[in-house]
Amino acid sequence: MKNILKTIDHTNIDPEATEADIIKTCNEAKEYGFRGVDVNPEWVSLVAEELEETDMKVIVLIDPPMGLSSHKERMDACRRAVKDGVDELDVVMNIIDLKYEKYDSVLDDLSEIAELADTKVIIGSGFLTDDEIKKASELVQEAGAICVKTATNKDPLERRQLEEKAKHVKMMSEAAPDLLVKASAKIRTLEDAKMMIENGADIIGTSSGVEIAKELKDMEE
């Protein structure tokens, strides 16, 4: 069970977050031994500094919630993050292009981004049909990313639909067997995290890592 903590990308993408908030998030990640810290682009250099003496990942969210910026804007944002010390890019796929079956455009965009750094691609699974989830996962694998990820905090699936998200995780894992799978959005409890892992998730993205760690500690006591 303790290994669950090692799967958590401790997330703070609050647009109102302050420097003190981000430092607190980093300190929590170090205290509980999480996998990494996921933030908005403006905080990458600070997180890289705070995590410098650890083996934790510095992670950045790029182009939420639908991946609709131009390719140049996306590349520029990713290059800045790499310069600032990021380890992993959590990039939203252009979900509209995927919906309109512009697969070459999606693939070209993601392939070039994946050359910059380890890339986890957010496909927005809650917006997609089952067939689209499978196709998106295949494109992410073909693009050379390391991971396919369910959603941002704007996932249309509600907490009562976590079983549906778990189904998506399983489909993603089966469609892209060479990739890691990251489940995120509205995962707030130890039971939520366990459900995702049991369905194939390798990484859990959540802002509730501390609460999950405390649940785990209470169980052990």
Helices (H) and strands (E) in the chain, counts: 9, 8
**pLDDT tens, position by position, 83-120:** 999 999 999 999 999 999 999 999 999 999 999 999 99
Task: Determine the Cα–Cα distance for residues 213 and 189; give it in Å rounded to an integer.
Answer: 9
| pTM (two decimals) | 0.97
Specify whether 182 is catalytic. yes
Distances (CA, A) of 165 to 93, 124, 149, 181, 192: 18, 11, 11, 12, 10
The dihedral of CA 99, 65, 143, 199: what is its sign?
negative
Specify whether 149 is catalytic. yes
Residue 221's pLDDT is: 75
**pLDDT tens, position by position, 28-56:** 999 999 999 999 999 999 999 999 999 99
Residue 131: enclosing H or E segment and its boundaries?
A: helix 130-143
**pLDDT tens, position by position, 136-154:** 999 999 999 999 999 999 9
Q: Can you say how many angstroms the Cα of residue 132 is from the centroid of all Cα atoms in its chain?
A: 19
pLDDT band for 1, please (50, 70, 90 cuts).
Answer: low
Task: Determine the Cα–Cα distance for residues 19 and 29; give it in Å rounded to an integer.
Answer: 15
Share of the chain above pLDDT 90, in %: 97
Catalytic residue, from 90, 97, 109, 192: name it. 90
Q: What is the CATH number of the domain that holds 123?
A: 3.20.20.70
Residue 220's pLDDT is: 82
The boundaries of the domain holding residue 107 are 2-220
**pLDDT tens, position by position, 140-192:** 999 999 999 999 999 999 999 999 999 999 999 999 999 999 999 999 999 99
Catalytic residue, from 57, 182, 186, 192: name it. 182
The dihedral of CA 30, 83, 42, 208: what is its sign?
negative
Task: Determine the Cα–Cα distance for residues 193 and 205; give it in Å rounded to an integer.
Answer: 9
Catalytic residue, from 57, 120, 149, 165: name it. 149
Task: Determine the Cα–Cα distance for residues 47 and 126; give it in Å rounded to an integer.
Answer: 29
Q: Can you say how many angstroms the Cα of residue 75 is from the centroid of all Cα atoms in its chain?
A: 18
Mean pLDDT, all residues of the chain: 97
Task: Determine the Cα–Cα distance for residues 1 and 216; give it in Å rounded to an integer.
Answer: 8
Q: How many domains does the chain have?
A: 1
Specify whether 90 is catalytic. yes
